[in-house]
Chain A
Amino acid sequence: MNPPPTSYTEFHPRWYRSPVSAYWWLRSGTYLAFILREISSVFVAWAVVYLLLLVRAVSRGSGGYRDFLDLSANPGILFLNLVTLFFLAFHAVTWFNLAPQAMVVHAGGKRVPGVWIAASNYTMWAVATVVVVWIILG
């Protein structure tokens, strides 16, 4: 039987580096939820633009305001705002749920449980919502 031909083993190890796919965020549900959470920032920006459009409309008198209300009834804008509301809610919920991980509060020598911090965030949200609605509706 012939011995196998001799060859030198390379000194430098040939490590294999897998390239990261451009679609890494589709690999799991948690990655996808993270990207959606980050995309919500685009809809936050739109909500601010929409708010400024309202301010501009109001400053242009009741005609401008009526035009704004008509614009808001446009089906495309309506759909955009529906999606925006979903993403704003998603942003708020993920933000309030993650806040306890970032903020450790001590009271009387013991750590305040994270659930209480999240609960106080949601309470603030409810109060803020009531205040905003009350101010707008008059």
Chain B
Amino acid sequence: MQKRTTLEPFVWLLFSAGGVLAALVLPAFVFLFGLAFPLGWLSAPSHEHLLAVLRHPVTRVGLFLVCTLALIHAAHRLRYTLYDGLQIKHLYEVVNPICYGAAVVGSAAAAYLLFVAL
């Protein structure tokens, strides 16, 4: 079996970190902005408050890490799900760039939004 040069151990570390961050932080976020605020269970914070929070350098860096790692986590898992679910493991040269490429695009968007647009 020909051994491809593999970055797999490194990607797995990123995948694991992304899984932990996604599990810790995203549920609370989606609960608040996806359910609690629109349904009126809690009142949404003011725009000034959010702007101040988001502009803080710690928040910017923290959110960038969460977004990038969570996207890599999702891309990695989706890649293997496509392998096992659609049985296209042999098409790895197409599937891998699509999955990780999407994660890279998302991370670039996150970087722009968090460090330039804000």
Which residues does A use to contact B, with CB under 8 Å? 20, 22, 25, 35, 38-42, 44-45, 47-52, 54-56, 58-59, 61-62, 65-66, 69, 72-73, 77-78, 81-82, 84-85, 88-89, 91-92, 95-96, 124-125, 128-129, 132-133, 135-138
Contacts and interface: CB of A to CB of B under 8 A. Distances in A.
Contact of A48 (B38, B59, B67, B77): B67
B106 A48 contact: yes
Given A47-B70, A136-B32, A88 B38 contact: no
Contact of B39 (A35, A39, A44, A78): A78
B91 interface: no
B25 interface: yes
B91 to A, nearest CB: 15
Nearest to B69: A48
B98 interface: no
A38 B39 CA distance: 29
Nearest to A103: B16
Given A69-B38, A138-B49, A54 B77 contact: no
A47 B49 contact: no
A78 B30 contact: no
Interface string B46-69: 110111011000010001001100
A35 B71 contact: no
Given A58-B51, A92-B27, A52 B113 contact: yes
14 contacts: A22-B86, A25-B85, A40-B77, A47-B26, A52-B109, A52-B113, A55-B117, A85-B27, A88-B26, A91-B19, A125-B23, A132-B32, A133-B32, A135-B53
